Amino acid sequence: MGDLASAIGIRAEEQTLVAELKSGSEQAFALLIAMYSHPVYSLIARSLRDPADAADVTQEVFVKVFRNISGFHGEASLRTWIYRIAIHEASNQRRWWGRHKRQELTIDAPLDNDEGETFCLADALATRDASPYDCAARSEVRAHVEAALRTIPEIFREVVILREIEGFGYEEIAEILNVNLGTVKSRLTRGRAALRDALIKDAAMHLTPRRASANLKAVA
C-alpha cells in the first residue's frame, strides 16, 4: 500500500506541474529544467558522436518541451515524454553530424590499472562520491565504455543507455522509442553484445591481456 500511495502522490505532483507548465508558469519551467536537465544532458552526451554538442541539443530539447507541453495529455509519464523528445533530437543531431562534420573518432589511451576492480556498467558511468583513488579507477573504465558506446549502432546504443545507465524499465523504453517490448529486449541483447565486442577490440589494441581482462569485467 505504501508503494501505491507513493506512486499516486508522484502522479498528482506531476499533474500539478504539467498544469502549471501549460499555464505558462516560469517557475514551473525552471523547476522542470532543474529536475531533468542533468539526466537529459547525460543521455544526449552519450548518444552523440561529439559530446561537445550535448549542451546545445539539451537546450533544444527544453525548447521543444516548452513549445509542445500543451499537447502533452498524460498518455505516458512526463519523464518518458521528455526522454522521447531527447532521443529524437539526438537522432536529428547525429544525422546532421553525418552530413556535415564527418570526423574520425579517437579513443584515448587508458591509464594503468592493476587492481582488477569489478564495476557494473551503471557504476562505471555514474557519478558518485568516492575517494580520489576510486574516482581514478572508475574514470578509466568509464572512458572505455563511453568510447565503445559511440561505436555501436544507434538503435542498440539507445536501448543500452536507457536501460543500463538511465535505469528505465522495458515498458518505459518501449514507450520512449515507440517500439514493442520484444523489440526492446532484442535490441538490448544485441546492444550488450556489440558493446562487449567493442570493448574487447579496444582492449586488444591498447591493453596487455591481464589489464584487458580486468577492464572487461565492466560488461561481463
Q: How far apart are CA 10 and CA 171, in angstroms?
A: 19
Give the total number of structural domains in the chain.
2
The CATH number of whichever domain residue 175 belongs to comes to 1.10.10.10
Q: What is the pLDDT of residues 106-146, one digit of tens each?
A: 333 333 334 454 445 555 555 445 555 455 556 677 777 88
User: pTM for the full model?
Assistant: 0.62
Mean pLDDT in residue range 48-56: 83
pLDDT of residue 103: 39
pLDDT band at 196 (very low <50, low <70, confident <90, very high): confident
Q: Name the amino acid, one letter, at 184.
A: V
Which residues touch 16 (CB under 8 Å, ≥6 apart)?
none
Residue 53 lies in a domain: yes
Mean pLDDT is highest, among 89-98, 185-194, 210-219, for: 185-194
Same-domain pairing of 125 and 204 = yes
Domain that holds residue 197: 111-220
Burial of 51 (0-12, 13-18, 19+ CB in 10 A): middle
Same-domain pairing of 36 and 79 = yes
Same-domain pairing of 70 and 135 = no
Nearest residue to 94 via CA among 104, 82, 102: 102
